Structure 1
Amino acid sequence: MEKLPLELKQRICSFLHANPRLLKPIRLVSKEFASAAAPYLIPRLFLFRHPDSCAQVKEIAEHPVFSKYVTTLVVDLSVLKSHDNIESWIEDHTELEYEEVEWSDFEPDGQEYDEYGPVLETCALSNKFHAKCERFYEARQEATRSLQSEYEGNWKAHQDIVRIQASTSFQSFFLETVTHTFRICPNLTNIVISPPVQIQDVIARRTHIFEDILPISASWVRPQDSFPVDFQLEEMLQATNHSLFGLNSLTIIDFPFGCSEKIEIESLKSLTSLKHVRISHNRLNFDPTTKLNLKQEVALRAAHSLETLWVEMPAHIYEHVNANGLLRATDSRSLRDILLSNVCVSENVLVDFLLRHASSLQHLSFGLALSTGSWVSTLRRISRRMEKLERVQLTGITETRESEMVTFSSEWCLKARNFLTKGTELPEPVPYDQFYEFEEERSSNCSSPLRNHILPEDGLWEEYDGEVNSYF
């Protein structure tokens, strides 16, 4: 390519720039090709816990052209499930498909059958039929041996990666890869910590890295493979310290992180420019390692430019997840979008938080439980005081009444929303009635409207935002 005439190279690059899909099967070996391809191919990198993945990310990060276009690093901390024997591995991969040996491929031509079995009128026909049966059984045995050998190879490769992932040396190398990438990619300011969402492009990247041990892509997407307990959030955030800009967005999905007892602000300088935080543990259900214990009140005190804050926890555990400290710590003149789901706060803390950001907040999405106070009082205290409020979503809001948690109906949530946005009357709250709500939702739309399909900001990605905010 470098030896081609300049005019021809310019024409090729112009054509590929206008038709970027054609770049996929082409090996990019020239600066002109790289410049034409980079904006389309690599705005984000995917890093998996595999040596080959670390090498690929490092190669792109050190590329003189490609590195300039990288804006987001998606870090998958998922670990492979260990299997002590091949039988355990096979049991955990019941979805594997293989080609069975069919009798129709061996059956003698024109063979007839009656109610007793094959019709073998002559000795020659009988010998031919039994010879075909023997070949069929041999083929099945050979296919079984071949399949067993293939499975054994997959299992051994699987266990090799398990050992690598558990080694201290690889964990250090993995973190060094994150640090190195953020240090040398000039526009890298966004990090997503997440197992793969079920988007084909995302799954395909992971399947490519682990193709030697995962016969089909579905082998990877299972909850038991997504419990990394050997990394702490502080380690990941320290690895993102950017020499120029700091972090623009932090997205954490289904990562049951551990946390140090003390997090020093000085060690998290990358958070000072943080604008977007999305945290979701929604798919971890009742996993005991799922805790909102990352000391957000410490980390977020450094985020003075925060614009969006989304926190979604598993349903029905809100009484165990107190977000008062999180709201007290958040203080940004730019905050415009807040989503809190399945967490517990007090009325006074929530009201103070909302009024503190009344001049900037535009979007409220709440699925909150009030530990003290009432929703009627909360809504009346903030009514007509939220200057920029454009959209409100209230779904499954709850409060404590006589030591019991009471969830309010979707219809009342709509009226409460209209009270805030349109100044209509606020009636007394109506508890949720499961049978009534089901019938009402079948006949009319009583739920909050879906979030507008607005394209995410630079560095944010719709498939990951959708994992945090089901109304996105």
Structure 2
Amino acid sequence: MDALPLELQQRICSYLTIKDLKSLRLASKVWTAAACRDLLPRIFLFNHPDSCQEVQDIANHPYLKHSVTTLVIDTSCIHPDLKFDQWARNLANSSSTPRSEEVETVTSGSDARAERISHREKLRSDTLKLRKQWRSYCADQQASLKRLMLSSIALAFSECPRLRNLIVECNLERDYEISSSAGMLEKRKQFYHRVPFSNAESSNSKYQWSWESMHFDIWDIFKPVHNAGRSLNSLMLLDADLTCPLDWTPPNTPIFQTLKHLRQINSPTNFLTHIVASAPELESFGTFDRWNRRSYPSMPSLMSGPLLPNLRALSLNRMTKEEDLAQFLLRQSHTLQHLRIDQGYRGSFDWSRVVADVRGKLPNLRRVEFNNLSKGLLPYRWGMANYFSTVDILQGHKHKLESDPMELENGLWEDYEQMFFPVKIRA
């Protein structure tokens, strides 16, 4: 690797792991320009000045900008700042008992006790003031970084002509059933090498409390895409902590007109409904609903939307509602080929009615996967539960189900697809 030209070392090797790099032999600038189209398809953006600078360098590069097809934005936020180190050390060294040199010599024991009490009160007051100052500093830094991130997004979409895939995620709230992207974790190590990846790795770390998410207005993320006149090919909104007012009126935008693949975890329902209604070419949809402090059920976004004439693949994970699912599946029966339903919480719903309504009425299915679809409500003794299988829904089915590895669709990434369609990908 050291034998590579400096430009490739700085602009290519930093984005790829060793195993991803192939033997390179540069013959000319023409060869370099041609090779760059396949060397850097995915870039990552964090709330770190170096990350923003990295994205800007790529977007301004005469060759590399033509290779970028996917932008991954991480909205999680940490503050590994030297001032925070000093702040933490000050708190660690603070004591409720004053040092001897800080207490004036007094003759009366009661006066000394009053002095110690006064000093403790001063320490508490100073600590609260320091905490307030640090929070204010962090808020200012976060606002500055947010502006820097948004400007980097705008630059990427304005300068990278092949950029048509967007992933927005905040993997701080992931649970054990949703694994983080390998590419995202690898890039995080480069920018946050001094900070633990999770609280479990270092429960005593002074950085532990500083993990949080940056709150973005959802249109702030998509406005640069709109301004560039770009239509997305794939979109993933994964626990990104995006806000969308209930009275928000969507603008007339071409962003979703050619959208083919949509994945979501806890996205605002009204914005998700707008996406589905504005994406006539949508071919696959994957959703992961779960109960948390800001759970957004995704099924109403599908049910209230129009017929999706090109929908071929559907993945529903841990649904919070399923009342109208049968009607939706029947409405899409002419196009639906791949159906996956994973309830997650065993016994949380009775799927008997849904299965009875669609049995034998989905003639075009080629791939089917059911997990934990219980035959009745079973709040306990889950090991004794009965579950529906693919045979229960494929009564009189004419097509042989496929089980061979799938081709990865253009614009999708295997490390993210495993969250929604966990099947083998054909190499």
Give the match for residue 360 of structure 2. 384
* Identity value in percent: 22
The equivalent residue for 2:164 is 189
Q: CA deviation at 1:219?
A: 8.5
User: CA RMSD for the aligned pairs?
Assistant: 4.4
- Choose which of 443, 452, 458 in structure 1 pairs with 2:410: 458
1:21 matched to 2:22: yes
CA–CA distance in structure 1, aligned partners of residues 86 and 353 of structure 2: 61
Specify which of 307, 327, 349 is matched with residue 303 of structure 2: 327
Q: Deviations over 1:149-198 (max 9, x none)?
A: xxxxxxxxxx99x8488443431231121122112211111011124765
- Higher gyration radius (CA): 1
Structure-2 change in CA distance of 1:217 and 1:167 (3 Å): closer
Taking the aligned partners of 1:48 and 1:243, their CA distance within structure 2 comes to 21
Contact kept in structure 2, 1:280 and 1:467, CA below 8 Å: no
- Residue type matched to 2:392 in 1? F
Partner of 1:79: 77
2:186 corresponds to which residue? 204
Taking the aligned partners of 2:381 and 2:331, their CA distance within structure 1 comes to 27
- Which of these residues, 27, 30, 55, is aligned with residue 57 of structure 1? 55
TM-superposed CA distance for 1:465, in Å, is 1.6
Q: Equivalents in 2 of 1:180, 1:319: separation in Å?
A: 32
Q: TM-score, normalised by structure 1?
A: 0.61
Q: Which amino acid aligns with 2:335?
A: S
Q: CA deviation at 1:48?
A: 1.3
Q: Which has the higher helix share?
A: 1
Per the TM alignment, residue 367 of structure 1 is displaced from its structure 2 partner at its CA by 3.0
In 2, Cα distance between the equivalents of 1:199 and 1:306? Answer: 24
Contact 2:375 2:388 (8 Å CA) reproduced: no
Q: Kindly indicate whether residue 335 of structure 2 is the aligned counterpart of residue 350 of structure 1.
A: no
C-alpha contact 2:318 2:342 (8 A) present in aligned 1: yes
Answer yes or no: is the 8 Å Cα contact 1:229–1:258 preserved in 2: no
Alignment check: 8 A CA contact 2:215 2:241 kept: no
Please state how far the C-alpha of 1:323 moved relative to its aligned partner. Answer: 2.4
Q: Does structure 1 residue 280 correspond to structure 2 residue 262?
A: no
- Provide the rounded CA distance (Å) in 2 between the counterparts of 1:71 and 1:164: 32
1:176 is paired with a residue whose SS is helix
2: CA distance between counterparts of 1:30 and 1:215? 41
Q: Deviations over 1:397-429 (max 9, x none)?
A: 35886xx869988984353x11223539xxxxx
Q: Tell me the residue number matched to 1:41.
A: 39
Cα distance change on mapping 1:85 and 1:76 into 2, 3 Å: same
Check the 8 A contact 1:67/1:186 in 2, yes or no.
yes
Please tell me whether the aligned partners of residues 317 and 420 of structure 2 are also in contact (alpha carbons under 8 angstroms).
no
In the TM superposition, residue 317 of structure 1 has moved relative to its aligned partner by 9.7
User: Hey, what's the Cα distance between the residues in 2 that align with 1:331 and 1:342?
Assistant: 23
The TM-score with structure 2 as length reference comes to 0.66
**1:309 aligned residue:** 285
Distance 1:358 1:239 in 2: 36
User: In structure 2, what residue type is equivalent to 1:206?
Assistant: R
Question: Cα–Cα, structure 1 residues 299 and 406, in superposed 2: closer, same or farther, change >3 Å?
Answer: farther
Please name the residue that 1:31 is paired with: 29
Task: Go from structure 1 to structure 2 and tell me whether the alpha carbon gap of 1:407 and 1:350 turns closer, same or farther (over 3 Å shift).
Answer: farther
Mind listing any 5+ residue stretches in structure 2 that lack a counterpart?
A: 1-19, 92-133, 172-178, 203-207
| Structure 1 residues 20-76: Cα deviation after superposition (integer angstroms, max 9, x where no partner) | 6234xx9x8963243243133201111111222222212212223222221101111
